[in-house]
Structures are given as C-alpha cells and as structure tokens.
Amino acid sequence: MASVASSAAPAVTKSTVHGVAPLRAGQGVSFLLRRLHSLSGIVPVGAFLFEHILISNSTAISGPAAYAKQVAFLGGLPLVFFLELFGIWLPILFHALYGFYIWYRGEGNATEYPWTGNWMYTAQRWTGGVAFVYILWHTYTMRFTGVDLHAYPEMSFGKVQAEVFQIPFFLFYVVGLIAASWHFAYGIWLFSAKWGIVSGEKAQKRFLGVCLALFVILTGAGLASLTSFRSRPQQPTEPGASVMDSSHATATYGKPVE
C-alpha cells in the first residue's frame, strides 16, 4: 500500500513591523478631527511654542531691555487680540481637548509600536497634559493678572521674574518647559511618520534623532532664559516702581542678586 505523504502548509513567520504606518485615507468627522488635531500640533501651536521659547524668551538672556523690546513688538502687531485668539488660544484649546478625548477613548498603540516607542508614546500623552496645565497657568498670570504687558512692556521682565524667583513656581516652570518641549519635538516625529512624510524604519529612526536633538535645544534655551530671570537684580512689576536693590532681594529670597 503506497503511503501518501502529507503536505503540510509552509509555516509563515510574521515579521515585526517597526516604525509608524502613515494615516490611511478615511472618511467621516472622526478622521477629519484627527487630521486637524495632528496638524494643529505643528501649525499654529508648535510654531508658536518654537517662537516663544527660541526667540521671544531667549531675549531675556540679553537683559530686561531686550526682553521688553520683544514684548513691545509682539504687543504692537496689528489685531493682536485676534491673532492670539485664533492663532494661539483656540488652536491650543482644540488640540488639548481632542487629545484628552483620544486619551480617554484609549486609542493606544501597543500593537503598532516597539517597546521603546510605547514608552515614548505614553510620555507624549502625559507631557501633553502637563504642558496644557502649564500653558493655562502661564497665560492666565501673564496676560490676565497684574499689569497689562501690552500697555507696559517694560514691566514684562519683572513680572516673569517675580514668579520664577519663587522656588515652587520656578520648579513648575522647569517641569512645564520640559513637558512642552518634549511634546512638540516628539509630536513632529509622530506627525511626519503618520502623514507619510518620513517612511521606512531607518528613515524614521534617523529623523527621531533629529527630533530628540530639537527637544534638547528647546529645553536648553528655555532653561537658559529661566536662569537669566533669576540671575539679574529684581525688576519692577508695576509702572513707576524702581528696581529693587540687592539688600531687599537678599532679605526676600535669601540669596544675593548680582
């Protein structure tokens, strides 16, 4: 009796796909909102963050006069209230609230990302939450309490300085700065990968290095600005006030101010 050889189906080895797949064509409101959420994180929210840290706040390194000049320039832009409303506040509000909605819905990435990517993706969610709280606080205190910096830009250095001289607020600023810098830098990588701008594992890995370098640059520039606020004599925070002398600063904050 002839034996019949059994034909077993060849085993198929599934290779692990690394990197991020581009967004596929979709339809409906949800797809559109996710697209807008991704885009708004780069423009205008990301562009504002980039300008705020690397340009505006970095002028504090050159001293109160340079910082006041930059604040006066921004405050003198035409239709500045509408630029802030539609170019900063509403986009940030939409990006944050829809981001919280995605987080709440639990649309995770455990099956698409390698192990390290999962940690980075999780960090993206948490840093977004921290950055949102930080931005709310910073916007409220700088724009809607105390002296109006658009009317009195010469008070701007002292107003920020009054907060960062206090250790709890200084630490809050540092944490918020790091969170916002990471969220933006890694967000650029996610945007480029999801929109298909950077495709392929090797290309995405190289571009991730670029984005991490941007995170270091943003954080370094922000920390240098914060250090500049703390390293200079106490500036006035109200119109007509004089610069606080070193003895007063020492008595108030327990350290001499150069």
* Domain boundaries of the chain, sorted by first residue: 28-253
Q: Which of 205-214, 222-231, 246-255 has the lowest mean pLDDT?
A: 246-255
Residue 195 near residue 23 (C-beta atoms within 8 A): yes
How much is the pLDDT for 96? Answer: 96
Residue 105's pLDDT band (boundaries 50, 70, 90)? confident
Angle subtended by helix axes 64-75 and 156-164, to nearest 10: 120
How much is the pLDDT for 254? Answer: 36
Average pLDDT, integer, range 217-245: 86
Two tokens, residue 72: 């006066």
For 46-79, what is each residue's pLDDT tens digit?
A: 999 999 999 999 999 999 999 999 999 999 999 8
Position 255: which residue type? K
Residue 190 near residue 177 (C-beta atoms within 8 A): no
Two tokens, residue 137: 């606080």
> What gap in Å lies between CA 158 and CA 155, rounded to an integer?
6
For 112-124, what is each residue's pLDDT tens digit?
A: 555 677 788 889 9
> What gap in Å lies between CA 199 and CA 207, rounded to an integer?
10
How much is the pLDDT for 28? Answer: 74
Q: Is the dihedral of CA 233, 238, 242, 248 positive or negative?
A: negative
Q: Is the dihedral of CA 116, 122, 123, 128 positive or negative?
A: positive
Average pLDDT, integer, range 81-107: 90
> What gap in Å lies between CA 23 and CA 236, rounded to an integer?
51
> 28-253 maps to which CATH number?
1.20.1300.10
Give 3-state DSSP helix, strand, coil % of the chain, rounded to 5.
Answer: 70, 0, 30
Average pLDDT, integer, range 88-94: 95
> What gap in Å lies between CA 146 and CA 87, rounded to an integer?
24
> What gap in Å lies between CA 164 and CA 183, rounded to an integer?
22
> What gap in Å lies between CA 178 and CA 222, rounded to an integer?
9
CA 247, distance to chain mean position in Å, is 37
SS3 state of residue 31: helix
Q: Which of 126-130, 162-166, 173-177 has the lowest mean pLDDT?
A: 162-166
Average pLDDT, integer, range 173-190: 96
How much is the pLDDT for 15? Answer: 41
How much is the pLDDT for 58? Answer: 95
Q: Give percent of the chain above pLDDT 70.
A: 79
Residue 80 near residue 74 (C-beta atoms within 8 A): yes
